[in-house]
Amino acid sequence: DGDGDGDAVLGAILESSSSPVPGAARGIGEYWPGERTAKPAPPPAPGAMATALRSVPPILVLPGFGNDRTDYLENAVGAVPTLNRRGFNTTVLAVKQSMWLQVFAKGALDWSFLRGSATCESPSYSWYISMAIEEIERLSAEAGGERVLLVGHSAGGWLARAVVGLMGQERASELVRGVVSLGAPHQCPPEGVVDVTRGVVGDLETRFGASKMSRWGVPVITVAGDCLKGDPSSEFPWNRASASAYS
């Protein structure tokens, strides 16, 4: 990072709370004793605060496939209230759930998408990338030129890389502080497994790998969870519906 504390910014988001409040210190995260009761107990004081940084970047949350911006605002445990408790100013890209239909509608007319060799510029995703770039420019301008930190959930993680890549080195290094992806696929699936990105992840790895983005001054951190495998023999259809799911 150009000003030396980019890693500290990312760490402040990902670091477990060191608060002595029960639950937080045990790494339970943003779920705490009494949070789900009829009269919810208040959240514990977070241990990692943005105020410890030399400058606090605005955060833009990039929703995952099929998600609506409102999914990240839920009560006290959504991404926005969780980050704001740590002293960040957090915005969610204004994606509505219905907008994701464009992926299929535009993909049906795009031969590269249909054959699984789509690129970052694919019309199936260009609407999302354009929205994100416009929002990054707006947030940076409102923050007096402060660079924006991107937090991408699921598909929002690899789309964040597409956003940075298509902005180009000069523009991205001027406007983007870094990328944190949460449960996002960044590699092509094994042979014989359908690539749900229709080739875009492979294009990203070839053209805009994480090492290249780091050289641009845009560090990347990826956080992954467990893979939950479906049970083909289950009597419950929702268990048979998918081979695997990632947190």
Q: Which residues, 6+ apart, have CB-to-CB distance to 206 below 8 Å?
A: none
CA 48, 53, 56, 57 dihedral sign is negative
Q: pLDDT-derived band of residue 6, with 50, 70 and 90 as boundaries?
A: low
> What does the pLDDT read at residue 123?
93
Size of the chain in residues: 247
Instruction: Decide the pairing of beta strands 176-182 and 227-229.
Output: unpaired
Specify the 3-state DSSP secondary structure of 97. Answer: helix
56 vs 3, residue with greater confidence: 56
Specify which residues 229 forms β-bridges with: 244
Distances (CA, A) of 236 to 164, 191, 233, 240, 243: 41, 28, 9, 7, 14
Which range scores top for mean pLDDT: 128-142, 191-205, 209-223?
128-142
Q: How many CA atoms lie within 13 A of 28 on its CB side?
A: 18
Instruction: Quote the crossing angle between the two packed helices 155-167 and 123-142, to the nearest 10°.
Output: 70
DSSP helix/strand/coil, 78? coil
**205 versus 47: which is more confidently predicted?**
205
Q: How many CB atoms lie within 10 A of CB 52?
A: 12
- Record the tokens describing residue 134, joined without a space: 């416009």
Using one digit for the tens of pLDDT, what is the confidence trace for 46-96? 666 776 777 788 999 999 999 999 999 877 778 888 888 888 889 999 999
Describe the crossing of helices 155-167 and 200-207 by its angle, rounded to 10 degrees: 40
Q: Which comes out higher in pLDDT, residue 220 or 10? A: 220
Q: What is the pLDDT of residue 18?
A: 39
Q: According to the model, what pLDDT value does residue 77 have?
A: 72
What pLDDT, in 10s, does the model give residues 26-43?
333 455 666 656 666 666
| pTM exceeds cut of 0.85 | no
Give the mean model confidence (pLDDT) for residues 5-22.
50
- Which one, of 158, 212, 150, lies nearest residue 185 by Cα? 158
Strands 148-153 and 58-62: parallel
pLDDT digits (tens, 9 = 90+) for 97-145: 999 999 999 999 999 999 999 998 999 999 999 999 999 999 999 999 9
Q: Are residues 108 and 71 in contact, defined by beta-carbon separation less than 8 angstroms? A: no
CA 27/CA 31 separation, integer angstroms: 10
